[in-house]
Amino acid sequence: MNIQSILLSSLTIAFALSQNYCCGQEVKAKVAAKPVEKAELGETRNVHRCGELFLAGQFGPQDIAKIKAAGITRVISLRTNGEIDWNQKKALDDADLEFIVVPFRAPEDLTDDVFDKVRDLLDNSDQPTLFHCGSANRVGGVWMARRVLDEGVDLETAAKEAKTIGLRNTEYEQKAREYIERKEAQKKTEKSGGKSINASFLDPDMDVAAFVKRFEIDNREVYAARKEILRALDLKAGNRVADVGAGTGLYTHLFAEQVGDSGWIFAVDISPKFLAHIKDKANSLGTANITNVLCRENSVDLPPESIDVAYVCDTYHHFEYPDSTTQSIYNALRPGGELIVVDFERVPGKSRDWILGHVRAGKEVVRKEIEETGFSFVEETAIPGLNENYFLRFKK
């Protein structure tokens, strides 16, 4: 090997190492995503293969010889005690196959710990492994998270693959989506030095008056154009409206007046101090048609089909878990209900540096994410006074 080849090899090794370590901490490197193919293991139910990983339903004692013949050395089961009427552990031990159980059955038992354990086990991708449950339903849900987070497959492609493998339970799928969002948000937070985009709103010492001065001022477009936005919203008397990311309550109180005594407003926010401010102002104004909702960062926490309109103003880019949060809005809307999103135009080379650094996605990405949740896009409305913001209307 000549000097040039040695240098090139050294640089390649150094680059590879740099992908696995960041700031002195080891991070999980993505493995190459292999295709999913139909396979057979004797009479084992619903078998698919992805590289050295076999994803399947239940097998019987008669299939163990076929499993060994396929080169499999390890079996991971998601089944719980009592689901199998023969001694699977003994049969696999007798065949000199490693047997690992990460049991869960009900959707509420599909915890982050289950996802984490399976991902760690499947990191040993060079060891041929059979990953199974009863029908591959649970397997599809858990493997979907692995596919996105560790193999770099996009979420919707992974969801389709999981359904091909056997995923049928929508609750398992939703659990996987929420787990993926949490992990991806955690990565973003770590990259930003551990500070969440919503950290200031969750600070128990937050100065609400300072935010009122920042948010309710004429050089903020959504404040200056509030009358035009209200006109475009066209709320009706009796409407039930969720002001998602209500903040200082600017629109909450405007909506409460617009829908009248027969309507109702839900001020939804993650910040207890913002909600306390909204309550104090409602009390001082004698407004009786507002309910405060302290929500989680991955859900608006409203009952199913409880609202006619959801309004998200300069807040969508603050969603740490956009998929599950938007899904919760969809669930909260009545059939035919509308989601209105007002947010910043993010156009590289055109938008201000603050927007480019603060807002994670442009209008096209926002629209795509919302439509993938199940919403139909209705229109983009031009609002006088909105230059850096857009106004999008969606329907359930």
| Distance from C-alpha of 205 to C-alpha of 187, rounded to nearest angstrom | 26
What is the reported pLDDT for 357? 86
Q: Mark whether 303 and 364 lie in a shared domain.
A: yes
Q: Mark whether 184 and 207 lie in a shared domain.
A: no
- Whether 298 maps to a domain, the answer reads yes
Q: Mark whether 69 and 134 lie in a shared domain.
A: yes
pLDDT per residue as tens digits for the range 116-136: 999 999 886 578 999 999 999
Q: Mark whether 90 and 164 lie in a shared domain.
A: yes
- Which tokens sit at 396? 């359930």
CB 270 within 8 A of CB 296: yes
Q: Mark whether 212 and 262 lie in a shared domain.
A: yes
Rg for the chain, CA atoms, rounded: 26
Q: How many domains does the chain have?
A: 2
pLDDT per residue as tens digits for the range 134-178: 999 999 999 999 999 999 898 999 999 999 999 999 999 999 998
What is the reported pLDDT for 16? 36
Question: How far is it between the farthest Cα atoms of the chain?
Answer: 84
Q: What are phi and psi of 218, to 5 degrees?
A: -65, -25
Residue span of the structural domain in which 340 resides: 199-395
What is the reported pLDDT for 360? 87
| Distance from C-alpha of 246 to C-alpha of 256, rounded to nearest angstrom | 12
What is the reported pLDDT for 33? 76
Beta bridge partners of 290: 265
- Which tokens sit at 166? 């056997």
42: domain CATH number?
3.90.190.10
- Whether 63 maps to a domain, the answer reads yes
Mean pLDDT of the residues in the chain: 89
pLDDT above 60: residue 264 = yes
CB contact set of 255 (below 8 Å; sequence gap of 6+): 235, 241, 243, 265, 311
**Residue 97 pLDDT level (bands cut at 50, 70, 90):** very high
346: domain CATH number?
3.40.50.150
Q: Mark whether 352 and 376 lie in a shared domain.
A: yes
- From 191, 215, 234, the end of a domain falls on 191
- Whether 30 maps to a domain, the answer reads no
- From 129, 164, 191, the end of a domain falls on 191
Q: Mark whether 298 and 339 lie in a shared domain.
A: yes
- Whether 4 maps to a domain, the answer reads no
- Whether 27 maps to a domain, the answer reads no
- From 149, 171, 191, the end of a domain falls on 191
| Distance from C-alpha of 264 to C-alpha of 289, rounded to nearest angstrom | 5
pLDDT per residue as tens digits for the range 350-382: 999 989 988 988 999 999 999 999 999 999 999
